[in-house]
Structure 1
Amino acid sequence: MDINEIAKLAGVSRATVSRYLNDGYVSKEKRELIARVINETGYVPSQQARTLRTGKTKLVGVIIPKINSHSVSRMVAGITKVLAQNGYQVLLANTDNNEKAEVDYLNLFAERNKVDGIILIATVFTNAHHKALDSLNVPVVILGQRLDGHSCVYQDDYHAIYDLTRSILKTSHTPGYIGVYEKDVAAGHERHRAFLDACASMDVAVDPKAQQSATFSVDSGYLSAEKILDAVPDVDAIICATDDIAFGAMTCLREYGKRIPEDVQVTGVGDSKLSKIMTPSLTTIHFYYLTSGVEAAKMLVDAMTDGDGVPRELRMGYEIYARTSSR
C-alpha cells in the first residue's frame, strides 16, 4: 500500500493525499475521504519517504548526563511532552557523565541530518564541546547551563544558594559547604561562589577545611561531611549542592551524635521526593525542572519550524522550601 493506491481508493489526486499527510490544505470532504481510506487500510506513511521529500526526520536528539537523576527525569518529562504534542519523536542518549560521550553524540546526531534538532542537558563545556556545537547544522538548545551564543534554559543557581545561605546564617556562625566539581559551572562553580559570597556579605569567615567536594551521590556526601566534622568539630551548618549529598551528610551527622537542626543545620538543592519524607525533612531549593524541560522543548520547536537563528536565553525561578533540617 502506497500513496498512489490511497489516492485511487479515495478518488483524489496523489498531490491531495500528499498535502493531507503533510498537514497542508485539503477540503473537509476530501479530508474525510482520505481519512476513511487510511483507517480502513491501516496505511502508515513511510518516515523514510517523508524525510526524503521534506528533508525533515521529525526526530529530536536529547543528550542527558545520567538516567537515574530526579532532576534529569523531570526535565525529560517536560521535553517529551512538548515534542510529542508537536509530532516529534525523541532519541535519548545517556552519557553517564562522560564528557567525550556528549561530544560524540552531538556529532552523531548532526551527521547526515539524523535529527531535526538537539537538546543538550549540559554539565561541562570543553574545547571539543565548543567545536561540536559551533559545527552543528541543526538547532540546539542547552538546558541546565548558560552558554554565550547559544539558546539555553537554565536555573538561577547563584541567587538560590546565596539566599538560602544567608537565611541559614541568621542562626549559624560556623558554616561548611559540600559541593561538586567546579567544571560543572552551574551546580559546581556558581553554587560554591554563591555560598562564599553570602558568607562574606554577613562577615562570616569560612574555614577552608569546612569546604569539601563530592560527587552527585549519598556516599560521597557522607564522606565529605566526615572530613568536615573531623577538621571543624564545631561546624553548625552544612550547605550541600544537592539533596543526595545532604542525605549522606545527615546520616554522617547522626552517627557522630549530632542533632539536626539543633547542633547542625543541613540544606540541599533539588526538592527530591525523599526530601519531604526524611526525618528531619530536608530544607532545600525547588527548581522548576519540569517547566524548564517544557520551555527548552518549546524553544527548540520554534527554532526548528520558523526560527530566525537568534540565540535566546531563559533563566528560571526558584523557591526555598524551609523544612525541619534547619531552624
Structure 2
Amino acid sequence: MTIYDIAEKANVSASTISRVINNKPGVSEKKRREIQKLLDELHYEPDENAQNLVKQKSNMIGILTDDLNSRHQNMGTARIQNAILSSGFNCFIKYIGREDDAVRNSIIDMARKRVEGVLVLGVSFHDHRPLKKAISRYLPDTPIVLVHQVKTIDLPNVYAVGADEKKGIQNCVEKLLEKNRKNLLLMVDENRTSEEEIKESFKQAVKRTQGINYKIRTGVKATREGGETALKELYKEYPDMDGLLCVNDSIAIGAMYALQDLGKRIPEDVSIIGEDNSESCDACRPKLTSMDPMLAVDTVMSANILVDVLSGVSRNRSVVLEMEIVERETL
C-alpha cells in the first residue's frame, strides 16, 4: 500500500501523509493522531529506499496534454519541451484521455514520477473543479502552470499564462467598424470550447455602435471547405454582409474564396479577419488579416515562469497577454 492509497482513506493529500511519516511540521496534532492511528491499523512500514529517493530532486518537469491531433497543442508542447531542456531540466510528457477520472489520474501520475513542476495544456484542464481537487490532494506543494489560460486556480502553487481572446474579439469588431462596415458576420468553428465567450464578446462590441447589423454562425467545420460551404449558405439569407470575422484562418480563407466566386471584391466589398495568424495567411490571395492568439509566446513564457519559480524567483500567478491583429490585405 502506498501513501497515495492511505491519503485516499484519510481524505488528505499524499504530502500530508508524508509529513506525518517523516515527523515534519504543517499538520495539526489532531489530524496527525488520526493519520498515525490509520497507519498503525494498516501496519504501514515506510520503505527506507523510497524515503531516500523522495529527498532527492528528480530534475523532471511534467507536461500534460489532451489532444494528439491538435496542431496547436503539438507545437506548444514542442516549444515548452525545448525551453525546459534548455534550462537544464528533463521532461516527462503524458497524453491524457477523455475518461471521467483522466485529470485526477494524470496528476497522480505526476506525483508518482516525483516531478518538480507541471505544465498543463488542453481543454480537459479548463474545468478547474476536478483539477483543483487533484492538485490539492496529490501535488499541493508542486508548482503548476496552466498554459493558454487567463484564469488561475485559487491555490498558492498554481500559475496561469494566456491571451485575452474576449478583448481580441472586441478589437477585431472595432477594426471592421473603422472600415465603415455595417453588416457583420461571425463564424465560429465546431466544438470551440470558448464559443459562448466569443459570441458574447462579439455581441457586446457590435452593440456599442448604433445601426450595426450582425449574424452569428457556429458549428462551422474548421477547414477551407467548411468555410466555403457555410458562407455560401449564409449569403443567401444575408447578401448585404460586408464585414466577416472568422475565429479560424482556414474557415476565413474558404469564406473569402466563396465570396470571390460570388463576385465580391476583397476588401473593397467585404473586409475579412481570421484568427490564428497561421502560415496560410501569407499564402492566400489577397493575404489574410488575422488575429494572433500569442500561442508561441505564452507557451515559452509558461515554461520560463515554471523554471523561475523552481529557482526561487517570485512570479505573478496570472499573466494575461493581448492578442495582436496582424493586418495584411483583407481589411
Q: Name the TM-score, length of structure 1 as normaliser.
A: 0.71
In structure 2, what is the equivalent of residue 119 of structure 1? 119
In structure 1, what is the equivalent of residue 22 of structure 2? none
Instruction: Kindly provide the amino acid, as one letter, of the partner of residue 155 in structure 1.
Output: A
1:311–1:286: structure 2 CA closer, same or farther, 3 Å change rule? closer
Q: Distance between the aligned counterparts of 2:244 and 2:174, measured in 1?
A: 13
Q: Distance between the aligned counterparts of 1:243 and 1:195, measured in 2?
A: 17
In structure 1, what is the equivalent of residue 34 of structure 2? none
In structure 2, what is the equivalent of residue 324 of structure 1? 329
In structure 2, what is the equivalent of residue 184 of structure 1? 193
The number of residue pairs the alignment matches comes to: 274
In structure 2, what is the equivalent of residue 64 of structure 1? 65
1:90 deviation in Å? 2.2
1:294–1:227: structure 2 CA closer, same or farther, 3 Å change rule? same
Cα deviation, 1:77-104, whole Å, max 9, x if unaligned, reads 43223211222222334458x4758626
Contact 1:63 1:105 in 2 (8 A): no
In structure 1, what is the equivalent of residue 14 of structure 2? none
Are positions 1:293 and 2:311 aligned together?
no
Instruction: Kindly provide the amino acid, as one letter, of the partner of residue 184 in structure 2.
Output: P
3-state secondary structure, aligned to 1:324:
coil
1:127–1:167: structure 2 CA closer, same or farther, 3 Å change rule? same
In structure 2, what is the equivalent of residue 38 of structure 1? none
1:263–1:100: structure 2 CA closer, same or farther, 3 Å change rule? farther
In structure 1, what is the equivalent of residue 160 of structure 2? 152
Q: Name the TM-score, length of structure 2 as normaliser.
A: 0.70
1:275 deviation in Å? 0.6
Q: After superposition, where does 1:187-226 map in structure 2 within 5 Å?
A: 188-208=195-215, 210-226=216-232
Contact 1:122 1:145 in 2 (8 A): no
1:322 deviation in Å? 1.4
Q: Percent identity?
A: 22
3-state secondary structure, aligned to 2:292:
strand
Q: Distance between the aligned counterparts of 1:221 and 1:299, measured in 2?
A: 38
Q: Distance between the aligned counterparts of 1:268 and 1:183, measured in 2?
A: 15
RMSD: 3.3
From 112, 131, 140, give the equivalent of 2:144: 140
3-state secondary structure, aligned to 2:145:
strand
Contact 2:190 2:218 in 1 (8 A): no
Q: Distance between the aligned counterparts of 1:277 and 1:218, measured in 2?
A: 13
Contact 2:226 2:254 in 1 (8 A): yes
Q: Distance between the aligned counterparts of 2:83 and 2:161, measured in 1?
A: 15
Q: Distance between the aligned counterparts of 1:63 and 1:194, measured in 2?
A: 30
Cα deviation, 1:303-325, whole Å, max 9, x if unaligned, reads 334377x9701111332111111
**Contiguous gaps of at least 5 residues in structure 2:** 1-48
Q: After superposition, where does 1:265-280 map in structure 2 within 5 Å?
A: 265-280=271-286
3-state secondary structure, aligned to 2:168:
helix
Contact 2:169 2:201 in 1 (8 A): yes
1:298–1:272: structure 2 CA closer, same or farther, 3 Å change rule? same
1:281 deviation in Å? 0.6
